[in-house]
Amino acid sequence: MSQHDRTHHAKIATGKGDPQCFKGTTGGPPKFKVGDRVRIKDLPDIFYTRCQVYTRGAVGEVAVITHESPAPEDEAWGHVDHSEWFYIVRFKQKDLWPEYPDAFGNDSLQTEFSERWLELA
């Protein structure tokens, strides 16, 4: 009964893997470089994202430029036509949690974002 598109994800990723199958699909260089100070944007929360709310508005440092892929917000409905660069951003725990103890002031946390969530701090 369904007319599902079999050229979907499974086909483009076969033999390459995901996210490797999206390499080169942003059509441009990453906007940020390793070491850049970036602030996490507070975009609207609706239906789906992988951008944890506890990071919004916090400033961290780009630790790794990881890969290109459709953003989770698009891929979660099977849209793979538009890709973004992804970054691992490193935060000081104290910058995320106001009550984090000074004794552990060097603790850090790394998590991943697509480019839409970042702006230069």
Footprint on this chain of another protein (rule: CB under 8 A): 1-2, 4-11, 18, 45-49, 52-54, 70, 72, 75-78, 80, 97
Question: Please, which residue, 33 or 101, has the CB nearer to another protein?
Answer: 101
Cα distances (angstroms) measured from residue 1 to each of 5, 78, 112:
13, 19, 39
Shortest CB 33 distance to another protein, Å: 27
Question: Please, which residue, 8 or 90, has the CB nearer to another protein?
Answer: 8
Question: Please, which residue, 46 or 103, has the CB nearer to another protein?
Answer: 46
Report how far residue 73's alpha carbon sits from residue 50's, in angstroms, rounded to the nearest whole number: 8
> In sequence order, what are the residues at sequence separation of 6 or more whose Cβ sits closer than 8 angstroms to the Cβ of residue 112?
50, 66, 86, 87, 88, 89
